[in-house]
Amino acid sequence: MTDTTLAVLGLGFALGARHALEPDHLVAVSTFVSRNKSIARSSLAGTIWGLGHTASLLICGCAVLALRMNIPSGFVGWMETAVAVMLIALGVNSLRLHVHFHTHDGRRHIHFHGHRREELVVHDHRHVFKLGIRSFLVGMLHGLAGSGALMALVTATIPSFLVGLTYILLFGLGSVGGMLILSSLISIPFVLSARRFQMFNYGLQLMTALLSIALGLFWISYGGTQ
């Protein structure tokens, strides 16, 4: 294996780690970790996201490298739109503020409030299994949306199937490691505020949910996540 090949493979790992910093990736994973009360659990969500992302890249990569085919631009465009819709859905799902109509002194008005801590324990549907499945599927969708640019780079610069597959694996490993670290860091303010500052915690969760919705709407309006 030549020095040039080794340099390209090393670049793949570095680009994978940087890839975790993409805005749609960060926002999507933030909606997962915003409801967690554990940094370890948030790290797990980020890691599983990276595995799902790598899985979809490997599937596309094997097809591209084995058949020397190109991924249709229309397919990538549809996947980017799907990511935008997914961001909106994640934001809506993570909203824990409820709207209630009340009547006081003959006047009807709206109350906004979040769940109390004990309610969150009773209604916590994001246990490890469901969190893992959701993170993996979201990661796969992100991988499909970004597969076009990566596969074009691989097929243009790496003629060997084995080297190309290794490049994709290293890229995926970099994205797994990058997202593991980032999800851990992102979870810190949520975990700390959940213990003593619940109203601040609700505010962070609301901000994260609204940011996810806004980013999804923006990319639908202005075309694409890449």
pTM for this predicted structure: 0.78
Amino acid, res. 226: Q
pLDDT score for 15: 80
- 87 against 147, higher pLDDT: 87
pLDDT tens by residue, 106-124: 565 544 555 444 444 444 4
> Where is 109: in which H helix or E strand?
strand 107-113
pLDDT at 101 over 60: no
Residue 107 in tokens:
């006047």
Domain boundaries, the chain: 3-94+111-222
- In degrees and rounded to multiples of 5, residue 101 shows phi and psi of -95, 130
